Amino acid sequence: MAIRKYVLPVVAGVMSGMMLLRVGERAIHAANPPAAGLNLENKAELEQYIAALPSSAFVMMTALYIFCTALAGAIARLVSGSGNRAPLVAGIFITLAAVLNVIMIPVQPLWFSAVSIIVVIPAALAGARLVSIFTRRS
C-alpha cells in the first residue's frame, strides 16, 4: 500500500516532468543552436555556449521549469489519490536536480539559477492544487 500511495506517485510525477523538460530543452536549444563545430560534450565549450545564450532562452527555460514541475506535482497528486505529500516530495527531488544543474553549469545567470531553485516546490504544489480543484466533486 505504501508503495502505491507514496513511491509510485513521486516516481510517476518526477519522471513525467523530467521527460517533458528534456523535450522542451531540446526545442529551446534548437531555437538557439550552438555554433558549428562546438562540442557540447566538452564542459568548457558547453559553458561557452550557455554563456552566449540570450536572456530570452533563460526566460523560456524558467517557464518550462515551472510548467514541467507543475505537471510533476499534478501527476503525483493524481496517482496518489489525495494529499500533498507526493507532490511535495516530487518537488523536493526536482529541487535537488535543479541544485545539481546549478552546480554542474555555474555559468548560468544568477537570476536564472535562483529562480530555477526557488519556484520548484511552489510549482509542484500548484499543480497538485489544480488537480484537486478540477477533480473536486460538487
- How confident is the model over 81-124, as pLDDT tens digits? 888 899 999 999 999 999 999 998 889 999 999 999 999 999 99
Largest CA distance in the chain: 59
State yes or no: pLDDT of 26 exceeds 70: yes
For the chain, what percent of residues have pLDDT higher than 90?
Answer: 67
State yes or no: pLDDT of 16 exceeds 90: yes
Range of the domain at 55: 2-135
State yes or no: pLDDT of 53 exceeds 80: yes
Nearest to 102 by CA among 91, 116, 123: 116
State yes or no: pLDDT of 79 exceeds 60: yes
State yes or no: pLDDT of 43 exceeds 90: no
Q: In whole angstroms, what is the distance from residue 87 CA to residue 75 CA?
A: 8
| pTM assigned to the model | 0.88
Residue-level pLDDT at 87: 94
Residue-level pLDDT at 77: 94
What pLDDT band is residue 19 in, cutting at 50, 70 and 90? very high
Q: In whole angstroms, what is the distance from residue 44 CA to residue 137 CA?
A: 54
Residue-level pLDDT at 124: 96
Query: What is the chain's mean pLDDT, rounded?
Result: 91
Nearest to 21 by CA among 124, 104, 136, 135: 124
Q: In whole angstroms, what is the distance from residue 118 CA to residue 108 CA?
A: 15
Task: Quote the number of domains for the chain.
Answer: 1
Residue-level pLDDT at 138: 44
